[in-house]
Structures are given as C-alpha cells and as structure tokens.
Amino acid sequence: MNEIKKNPDELGALWVKTSARGEFMTGTINGVAVVCFKNDRKTGNQPDWRVLRAKSREQQPTAPPSEPLTDDSIPF
C-alpha cells in the first residue's frame, strides 16, 4: 500500500477557484474552513491576500426576490 506521510509543518491546504469577480482560494487551516481574497486595494505595506473564516451555506445571505411576492404569485 502506498502510504503518504503528512508533513508535520502543514497547517492546511488551499485550492484556487475562479468566479465572475476573479480568483480566490478556499480550503482549511487547522481544521477551520477559510476563503482567501486578493487585496485589490493594496497600498504601501498592506497584505496581498486576506484570509477570512468561510461562512457555511446557511449563513450566506440570499438575494432578495426580483419581484415582491403577492397572493397571485403563490401557486396554491
């Protein structure tokens, strides 16, 4: 069996993804889900990337409906 030895210095792993807004990274660091965004407003001695705790799907805000709901729009 081909066993992979874990590096004791490894804290986590990140994957590069692309969205309509550009590239970002997702992954885990010490078991915490994170998302990393490039700092597009970098000036002077600011970081190149920002690391944020990833929100679960339940915590992500949903877009408001494009049209307000009325009694006529409910199918039952």
Q: Report the distance separating Cα 56 and Cα 43, nearest Å.
A: 31
Divide the 76 residues of the chain into consecutive groups of 10 and give the mean pLDDT of each group. Answer: 80 94 94 93 92 79 57 54
pLDDT per residue as tens digits for the range 4-22: 778 999 999 999 999 998 8
Closest C-alpha to 36, from 18, 24, 46, 47: 24
Q: Are 24 and 35 in contact (CB under 8 A)?
A: yes
Strand order in the sheet with 12-19: 12-19, 22-29, 32-38, 49-53
User: The pTM is what?
Assistant: 0.63
Q: How many residues in total does the chain contain?
A: 76
pLDDT at 25: 96
